[in-house]
Amino acid sequence: MTHPRESHLRKLPKVDRVLEHPRLTELGLRHELTRRVVVDAIAAERARVLAALAQDREPDPPVAELEALSERVRAQLERWLSVHPRPVLNGTGVLLHTNLGRAPLSEPARAAVVGAAGTCDLELDLSTGKRGSRLALLRPLLAALFEAEDALVVNNGAAALLLACTALGRGGVVLSRGQHVEIGDSFRVAEMAAAGGAPLTAVGSTNRSHMRDYEAALDGLANVEAALLWVHQSNFTQAGFVGEVPLAKLAALARGRDVALIADLGSGSLGLGIPTGEPTVAAYLEQGATLVTFSGDKLLGGPQAGILAGSAAAIHRCRRHPLARALRCGKLALAALHATVIAHAQASAPGLPLHNMIAVGVDQLRARGLRLCEALGWPSSCVRDSRATIGGGSLPGQELASVALVAPAKAHAAAMILRAGEPPLIGRAHDNELWIDLRTLDSIDDDTLLACLRRLGSTVT
Ligand SMILES: *Cc1c(COP(=O)(O)O)cnc(C)c1O
């Protein structure tokens, strides 16, 4: 008599039999790829069966045999080979949602990406036929707009910070404990600043730092090349018995000690069309920062990129540092960034998707909500006042009045149905209701939005 364990395991198909199944061969994929998924699927199934038997249970569902396993492998392969990232509708009410790709690009920026996708004059000066710079036009444009002597573009905000601290603070980077900001996915600004080898000196306490703290730290770093670092509290606020040395005072200290003052702003605002409260790059430079670093895809409303703006000497040091080559920005992002910056060059508000989302009036949103509700046959009580946020590490605690459609279904079920649609629509769960915030949805997509929400109407109520 065979052991029950053996009789179960014997039902598992051999790798080659699954590989030869027409369901998989008809995909026409490379053998190594299909084989890896088959081996993993069989191993996972074996582990599941053994786990059940170890607890004296029959595997439930029963052991997957050839048909079921080949189906499972095919589904996995199709998932891997499907387009990603693909477009989704953002109904979360978070304007710059890092999980949803942050700022949506403008039409000109999208066209620029497509235009640069083939061969392009990335580093060719067409007037001379000689080698040019990938930042030939963007560099002076950024410098002028941000009122800086010079500018540089790298892969993202974290790269800009890393490059600045590594190039300018080789001997030590001094940062207040109140500014040890953790950004998304448990990455910490202080650790990123030090990742290029610049040792970090923390000063002060969580709630208060004083001039004497910075002075003592710089005394300890005399004779080495040091920098002061200021990190904008971009995703949290502090209240109560708190105090930081103002940026302008730190700038005076940095000048007196002949060290750089690097300001990590996180979100690079030009001011126009943005609610007040967020410092601008120009304001930081005006207060005496040597260099300001920020992201291209936060309040600037462009693609993922990191921008450094500041003194010509500091930018020169960064540009010539070996890390600059490792962190440089690719042509697709540069094309999108240039188109975005051109929008900011207009004297009126830039009219980028992000700025339109901020500017739209709440009455307009409410009227739109009622129209959508009517088209869906939902009661008008589904239109509710909501609060949207900028997100993406900008303007913490500041909200924008908004309007949401509240799905007439349980939040979890509705969210699942909407995520499975084409395009997927992402909402925000709130008190076991699913809210679809209209401020983060472009009215141009309203027909698509209605089609998405109709899936809900016919499936749930
Ligand atoms: C967002 C942020 C960063 C990182 O920028 P990325 O473009 O996401 O790399 C760094 N510092 C601060 C203060 C930020 O808010």
Which CATH number does the domain housing residue 423 bear? 3.90.1150.180
Q: Whose CA is nearest to atom 12 of ligand 1?
A: 266
Q: How far is the CA of 166 from the centre of ligand 1 (A)?
A: 17
Question: Do 304 and 430 lie in a common domain?
Answer: no
pLDDT tens-place string over residues 197-229: 999 999 999 999 999 999 999 999 988 899 999
Domain end position, chosen among 289, 311, 344: 344
C-alpha 293 to ligand 1 mean position (Å): 9
Dist. CA 78–CA 65, nearest whole Å: 20
Among 344, 367, 385, give the residue marking a domain's end: 344
Ligand 1 neighbours (beta carbon < 6 A): 156-158, 161, 181, 183, 189, 231-232, 234, 264, 266-267, 295, 306, 393
pLDDT at 271: 73
* pLDDT surpasses 60 at 283: yes
**Phi/psi at 390 (nearest 5 deg)?**
-70, -45
pLDDT at 5: 82
Q: Tell whether 272 and 365 lie within a shared domain.
A: no
Choice from 232, 295, 298 to test ligand 1 binding pocket (greatest atom count within 8 A of CB): 295
User: What pLDDT does residue 162 have?
Assistant: 98
Do 381 and 337 have their domain in common? no
Single residue among 316, 344, 372 that ends a domain in this structure: 344
CA of 215 to the centre of ligand 1 (A): 27
Does residue 126 lie within any of the structural domains? no
Mean pLDDT across the stretch 239-243? Answer: 90
Count the domains in the chain.
Answer: 3
Q: Are 419 and 276 found together in one domain?
A: no
Is residue 274 located within the same domain as residue 319? Answer: yes
Share of the chain above pLDDT 70, in %: 97
- Is the pLDDT at 175 greater than 70? The verdict is yes
189 and 329 belong to one structural domain: yes
Report pLDDT for 189. Answer: 92
Give the structural domain span for 450: 89-96+355-459
The bridge status of strand 383-391 relative to strand 200-203 is unpaired
pTM of the model: 0.93
Q: Tell me: do 61 and 112 sit in the same domain.
A: no
In a domain, 101, yes or no: no
- In Å, how far are 149, 178, 225, 235, 244 from 232, measured between CA atoms? 22, 10, 23, 9, 11
Q: For residue 53, is it within any domain?
A: yes
In terms of domains, do 365 and 326 share one? no
Q: Are 214 and 250 in contact (CB under 8 A)?
A: yes
Helices (DSSP H) in 26-185: which residue ranges?
31-54, 66-81, 107-116, 138-145, 157-168
174 and 312 within one domain? yes
At 20, give phi and psi (nearest 5°): -85, -5
